[in-house]
Amino acid sequence: MNERKFAFFCMLSGILILFLFHQPLAAFKSVVSFFPVDSMMCEQSESLLIDDFSKSNGISSFGTQWRMFTDQVMGGVSTGEWDYDTIDGRRCVHLRGDVSLENNGGFVQVALPLTKEGQPFDASSYKGVRLWARGNGEVYHIHLRSSDSRRPWQYYGAKFVADSSWNMYDLPFSDFEQENLRTELKPDKLVRIAIVAIKKEFKADVAVARLEFYR
């Protein structure tokens, strides 16, 4: 390094040190603006991952496992299947089935406990549920059960339309409507989350690549 370059380097270093000490916030913002950050990374840093289906053992980020339920547990005839899949390069949980309203049935779902011990999970510091999903253009639901949901037919639900391409969906807790319950959803008392095809006869085909609570 010649003398001129060395002098320039020393001057630049001095200016930077003064700037950092006297205007740290402005310096931080300048550094951030100089190194662009992907918007999805920013969103994820403000969220709590439930599952991204990347683990080979099928264990969620909460240490719990998904299970499938259909209306056959109450005498219905709906059928379904699910597995871990890779669609367009994204690992996902993939739910398929035939939803029937016969015998007062009408649902297939995959559900995940939010704690191993069954104690309520406190999500009150978050705004709602965010998911990345794709499907066959039908309406699907996210169901939340809380410690107030004492019977199988009691839950809180919010819906989304899963198109044929991957999309992100934000479902605020305020959008979750109670079903067979008198109390509104209390996010600090959650016990289970589910991906559900329900309430009409149709062929279900929906995949979810990431599920999280967002702020």
pLDDT tens digits, 94-141:
999 999 999 999 999 999 999 988 789 999 999 999 999 999 999 999
Sign of the C-alpha dihedral, residues 80, 55, 126, 123?
A: positive
Same domain, 16 and 116: no
- CA dist 113 → 16, 67, 74, 117 (Å): 51, 9, 20, 9
Give me the pLDDT at residue 56, please. 85
Same domain, 18 and 73: no
Same domain, 108 and 131: yes
152 in a structural domain: yes
Side-chain-side CA neighbours of residue 144 (13 Å): 33
Same domain, 197 and 159: yes
Give me the pLDDT at residue 5, please. 47
Report DSSP letters for 136-204, one per residue: SS-EEEEEEEETT--STT-EEEEEEE--SS-EEEEEEGGGPEEES-SSPP-GGGEEEEEEEEESS-EEE
Same domain, 22 and 93: no
112 in a structural domain: yes
Same domain, 32 and 53: no
C-alpha closest to that of 125 among 32, 21, 213, 58: 213
CA gap 97, 108 in Å, rounded: 7
118 in a structural domain: yes
Quote the domain boundaries for residue 97. 49-214
Same domain, 25 and 66: no
Same domain, 30 and 64: no
CA angle, residues 160, 177, 212, in degrees to nearest 5: 55
24 in a structural domain: yes
- Other CB atoms within 10 A of residue 20 CB: 14
Q: Which two tokens stand for residue 7?
A: 């002098």
Residues with pLDDT less than 50, the chain: 5-12, 14-21, 24-43
Give me the pLDDT at residue 44, please. 53
Domain tally for the chain? 2
41 in a structural domain: no
- Residue 180 gets the label, from left (phi > 0), alpha (psi -120 to 50) or beta, of left
Residue type (1 letter), 127: K
In degrees rounded to 5, what are phi and psi of residue 86?
-125, 115
Residue type (1 letter), 167: N
Same domain, 27 and 120: no
Same domain, 29 and 111: no
Give me the pLDDT at residue 37, please. 39
Sign of the C-alpha dihedral, residues 177, 183, 187, 193?
A: negative
Give me the pLDDT at residue 38, please. 45
Report the CATH number that the domain containing residue 144 is assigned in CATH: 2.60.120.430
- CA dist 30 → 17, 39, 40, 42 (Å): 14, 17, 20, 17
